[in-house]
A and B are shown apart, each in its own frame.
Chain A
């Protein structure tokens, strides 16, 4: 809910008309949920242009969607600007070994596993020994990669005195300190020495990736906490439709998209950092934001729309137009009251209100089922954001939102963390954050 909600006035904002065209084209042709993905693939992942493809059946589309791959090796990690996949599993781990070589080997093993899983391959091609546990756990055995991406990050705690990395911690990874609204953050689901973000268009594929990577870590690192996201709550690919959050609203309409290279360089990718190993990396800020679902459901529509600053049905700003119409923050009603409430989410999170600050959102709707203590639905937004500097971006936005966002009545930040996601793994034999250890 935090983030780059701003109106479409900045030069970096995608052209609404073009987005509209592209959406119609794919909805017309495919008529199923793969539309956004196909558009994203054409625009961002370097696959054959969907424009050139002949009409395809739903079965073919499903098969294409399953076979879709996102390249793993590269200058920058995938899973940040990659058109956002439908499913997430996120894991935070704590290192239990005190030997830095164990950590390095683990990051090497993870790189090898990630390279294979993102290509739809198992841990090993060998069937293994019948008297030993199989190399691969097997639940993704007959499945394609479904655009799987695996993104790894390092928490501030990794840079304590255990591994001799204290002087390699970037300034941007310094603890954020207390931000308004953080009162109920639970330590058990906050932080972690390492994190893995696995995103794909299939839930079993992301689970398989995390499960096997956690297994590979046994003896070196342990799972601290994890989160499943059942549906994407942002759009990062050019032409991807804006999904709805569990409040029923389109959220993150003015996110930074993959084709906005200027915006990405300005707001997302690290360059010229005080720690050169982070160049071409990005900082992940995650927040598990619980929604007071039951209370929200009793709030009247007008109030819900006042809180967001947008219409619930179309996503258009309350000042009129369509979803991508720029918001007129100055307009007042007949009574002289601003149409967009001064404390509405869209206004407080807008770049206009925050000195141009934006970040890339990549959140997922989550549910943990029912809260066993209270009986309420345990659900909300697993907010994921990428940026150059969490202090200058997330903290600035969230300080403002945490203080006075009308939405605060219906949400609580209960967990999360900040991780430095190093540059990409260049080729086999390279590994996550290798430059950190050089």
Chain B
């Protein structure tokens, strides 16, 4: 990754800012808005309402209110922007029926309190209806339709919700702790094959060294954005030859890879391998500190939005250097790295799922399904006989690469938007 999304500086700073925002939302007296979504059908009736009259469901609102909470109609027009009816409901389950009549520039709608998104619906399209449903506590809210003639409309919830089902800020803190655990695991697993790699090169065992190299790579690739947040360490571990500055020594995985797979020798690799052992050890120390800070919730650990950016950043990594076959130019185990990046992304995303489910329950299944579609394509290239367990990259055709790219882009687009949902 050229762009260190999870940079350490950003971690400390960002987390502090975020923590403030989280606290003001969770404990703020003025809004005090907590929300959680119950089942959201997100059904859409395509094509039933182009340019047609809106607000026909107003009658349904009162009857629905008696049964399963309140119903609110939001009509979005080019001329008026967002119109909400009714604009006051009692605490509890609220279902929003959205109708984009003709607002071409409005694609999403959010229910916001104190700069936090409590519920949302994306992909609003003129001529189509959508719906989403959230459980809300009493307080002052806004309906936010970015790009509309009237963007923000006040929305009031009276009383207290009948039941409280947790809080997004808490879920995000849990996510950070979970992610810290995941990183700790990967970095500790990384130590073993790197030591085996050092042993094998010193013993002059080329086959064992190659195997250890392939075993080590995925642990690093899964948490690459975290490693890249240490600006001295990542270049020492993972620089490719073309990126080495003149006058700087080329160290880390890739000069070893070049010797093992191109020069086909272990000769002279001892010092390089020892340095790699020391560097991944250093990585373990640093990530351990991040992990401790995260658990202490002291603002110096992983911030949830960084985890979201890391998830997306890992896919950028794949697009930039794996799909192009540049990462493992000598060993050709690019697909192993590819899969590791994807897995790291999926794991980061998974920690955020409980919080995201509160905000937009349609989002998690969508992204999950697209991750599955991606891994299904990826799985067709498994090759147990090949080093690393994947088809060597030079054997992929352009059509193969296009298939992988298409599946990857389908995940990346919605995934890139989640950081904004948990911070704003």
Interface on A for B, CB 8 Å cutoff?
A: 96, 101, 104-105, 108-109, 111-113, 115-116, 121-126, 128-133, 135, 188, 215, 218-219, 222-223, 427-431, 434, 437-438
Contacts A/B (CB < 8 Å), 29 sampled: A101-B44, A105-B123, A108-B46, A108-B125, A109-B123, A111-B104, A111-B127, A112-B105, A113-B104, A116-B105, A121-B105, A123-B105, A126-B105, A129-B420, A131-B419, A131-B420, A133-B416, A135-B107, A135-B146, A215-B413, A218-B409, A218-B414, A222-B409, A223-B406, A428-B51, A428-B101, A428-B126, A434-B47, A434-B50
- Interface residue? B305 (CB, 8 A): yes
Asked if A131 and B123 make an inter-chain contact with CB atoms under 8 angstroms apart, the answer reads no
Residue B167 lies at the interface, judged by CB distance under 8 Å to chain A: no
What residues of A have a CB within 8 angstroms of the CB of B366 in the complex? 219
Which of A96, A108, A109 has most chain B Cβ within 10 Å?
A108
Cβ of A429: which chain B residues have Cβ within 8 Å of it? Answer: 49-52, 100-102, 126-127
User: Are A219 and B47 in contact, CB atoms less than 8 angstroms apart?
Assistant: no
Tell which of B100, B370, B398, B424 touches A129, judged by Cβ atoms closer than 8 Å. Answer: B424
Q: Which 9 A-B pairs have the closest CB atoms?
A: A132-B420, A428-B102, A124-B147, A126-B146, A112-B104, A108-B125, A126-B147, A429-B51, A218-B413
Contact A428 B78, CB 8 Å, known A96-B406, A104-B47, A124-B146: yes
**Contacts A116-B104, A123-B105, A429-B50 given: A188-B399 contact, CB under 8 Å?**
yes
**Shortest CB–CB separation between residue B80 and chain A, in angstroms?**
13
| Given A128-B146, A131-B305, A429-B127, also A105-B105 (CB < 8 A) | no
Among B51, B105, B406, B413, the most chain A Cβ lie within 10 Å of the Cβ of B105
Contacts of A126 in B (CB 8 A): 105, 146-148, 151
- Chain B, residues 381-421, CB within 8 Å of chain A (1/0): the string is 00000000000000000110000001001101110110111
| Distance of A433 Cα from B305 Cα, bound (Å) | 40
Query: Nearest Cβ in chain B — how far from A41, in angstroms?
Result: 24
Instruction: Beyond the given A105-B44, A111-B126, A125-B105, please list 4 additional residue pairs across the A-B interface where CB-CB is below 8 A.
Output: A101-B46, A109-B107, A112-B126, A429-B127
Q: Which residues of A contact B51 (CB under 8 A)?
A: 427-430
Residues of chain B within 8 A (CB-CB) of A428 are 51, 78, 101-104, 126
A431–B125 Cα distance when bound, in Å, is: 10
Q: Do B107 and A437 have beta carbons less than 8 Å apart?
A: no
Do B419 and A431 touch across chains, with their CB atoms under 8 A apart?
no
Residues of B contacting A109 in the complex (Cβ-Cβ under 8 angstroms): 107, 123, 125
Interfacial chain B residues near A135, Cβ < 8 Å: 107, 146-147
Enumerate chain B residues within 8 angstroms of A123, measured Cβ to Cβ.
Answer: 105, 107
Residue of A nearest to B412 (CB): A218
| Complex CA distance for A104 and B129, rounded to whole angstroms | 12
Interface size on B, residues (CB 8 A): 43
Give the distance in Å from the alpha carbon of A135 to the alpha carbon of B108 in the complex: 10
In the complex, A188→B417 CA distance in Å? 31
Q: Which residues of A contact B398 (CB under 8 A)?
A: 188
Closest to B110 in A: A129
Q: Is the CB of A124 within 8 A of B105?
A: yes
Q: How far is the CA of A199 from the CA of B353 in the complex (A)?
A: 42
B26-64 vs A, Cβ < 8 Å mask (1 yes, 0 no):
000000000000000000101101111000000000000
- Judge whether A131 and B423 touch: CB under 8 Å: yes
Q: Is the CB of B146 within 8 A of A437?
A: no
Tell me whether A115 and B147 are in contact (CB under 8 A): no
Q: How far is the CB of A398 from chain B (nearest CB, A)?
A: 28
* CA distance in complex: A208, B123 (Å): 20
Interface membership of B302, Cβ < 8 A: no
Q: Write out the residue numbers on chain A whose beta carbons fall within 8 Å of the beta carbon of B46.
A: 101, 104-105, 108, 437
Known contacts: A105-B128, A126-B105. The answer to whether A222 contacts B417 by CB under 8 A is no
B113 within 8 A of A: no
A104-B48 Cα distance, complex, nearest whole Å: 11
Once A112-B104, A218-B409 are accepted as A-B contacts, the answer to whether A132 and B127 lie under 8 Å apart by CB is no
Say how far A120's CB is from chain B's closest CB, in angstroms.
13
Does any Cβ of A come within 8 Å of B106's Cβ? yes
Asked whether B44 lies within 8 Å of A218 as measured between CB atoms, the reply is: no
Q: Which residues of the other chain, B, contact A122 by a CB distance below 8 angstroms?
A: 105
Contact in complex: A431, B50 (CB < 8 Å): yes
Contact B147 A96 (CB under 8 A): no
Contact A108 B128 (CB under 8 A): yes
Least CB distance, B391 to chain A, in whole angstroms:
21
Cβ of B105 and Cβ of A430 under 8 Å apart? Answer: no
Q: Which residues of B contact A104 (CB under 8 A)?
A: 46-47, 128
Which A residues touch B101, using CB under 8 A? 428-429
A189 CB to closest chain B CB (Å) equals 12
Task: State the CA gap A430–B46 with chains docked (Å).
Answer: 11
Contacting residues, chain B, for A129 (C-beta < 8 A): 146, 420, 424
How far is it, in angstroms, between the C-alpha of A188 and the C-alpha of B370 when the chains are bound? 24
- Tell me the complex Cα distance, A437–B147, Å: 29
Q: B residues within 8 A CB of A431?
A: 47, 50, 125-127
Complex-state Cα separation, A105 to B50, whole angstroms:
12
A110: nearest chain-B partner, CB-CB: B125
Q: Which A residues are CB-close (under 8 A) to B412?
A: 218
Measured CB to CB, the nearest residue on chain B to A223 is: B406
Q: B417 contacts which chain A residues (CB < 8 A)?
A: 132-133
B409: A residues at CB distance < 8 A: 218, 222
A219 CB contact (under 8 Å) in B52, B104, B413, B421: B413
B127 touches A218 (CB 8 A): no
Contact A437/B104 with A108-B128, A111-B126 known, Cβ cut-off 8 Å: no
Chain B residues near A112: list those with CB within 8 A: 104-105, 125-126
Q: How many angstroms between the C-alpha atoms of A111 and B125 in the bound complex?
A: 9
| Cβ contacts under 8 Å, B424 to chain A | 129-132
Q: Complex formed: what's the CA distance from A222 to B407 in Å?
A: 9
> Which residue on A lies nearest to B405, using beta carbons?
A222
Which of B51, B100, B147, B413 counts the most chain A CB atoms within 10 A? B147
| Alpha-carbon distance A122/B104, docked complex (angstroms) | 10
Contact A125 B399 (CB under 8 A): no
Contact B421 A132 (CB under 8 A): yes
C-beta contact mask, B355-379 vs A, less than 8 Å → 1, else 0?
Answer: 0000000000010001000000000
Question: How distant is the Cα of A263 from the Cα of B78 in the complex, in angstroms?
Answer: 38
**Shortest beta-carbon distance from A241 to chain B in Å:** 35
Q: A121 vs B105: C-alpha distance in the bound complex, in angstroms?
A: 9
**Chain B residue at smallest Cβ distance from A114:** B104
Contacts of B151 in A (CB 8 A): 126
| Min CB gap A138→B, angstroms | 15
CB <8 Å contact, B414 and A219: yes
Which of B52, B126, B414, B417 is packed against the most chain A CB atoms within 10 Å?
B126
Docked CA distance A130–B309 (Å): 13
A427 to B77, CA, bound (A): 13
Chain B nearest Cβ from A121, distance in angstroms: 7
Contact check, B410 vs A437: say whether CB atoms are below 8 A apart. no
Q: How far is the CB of B228 from chain A (nearest CB, A)?
A: 19
Interface pair B106/A124, CB less than 8 Å apart: yes
Question: A233 to chain B: closest CB distance in Å?
Answer: 29
Task: With both chains docked as a complex, state the minimum distance between the C-beta of B51 and any C-beta of chain A, in angstroms.
Answer: 4
| A219-B370 contact in complex given A112-B126, A428-B102, C-beta closer than 8 Å | yes
Partner of A124, one of B52, B107, B127: B107
Return the chain B residue nearest A123 by Cβ: B105
Residues of chain B within 8 A of A434, CB atoms compared = 47, 50, 127
Contact B410 A219, beta carbon cutoff 8 Å: yes
Give the residue of B47, B100, B104 whose beta carbon is less than 8 angstroms from that of A115: B104
Rounded to whole angstroms, the CA-CA distance of A430 and B126 in the bound complex is 7
Tell me whether B107 and A427 are in contact (CB under 8 A): no
B47 in contact with A437 (CB, 8 Å): yes
Q: In whole angstroms, what is the CA distance A438 to B46 when docked?
A: 10
Closest-by-CB residue of B relative to A112 is B104
How far apart are B21's CB and chain A's nearest CB, in angstroms? 11
B423 touches A218 (CB 8 A): no
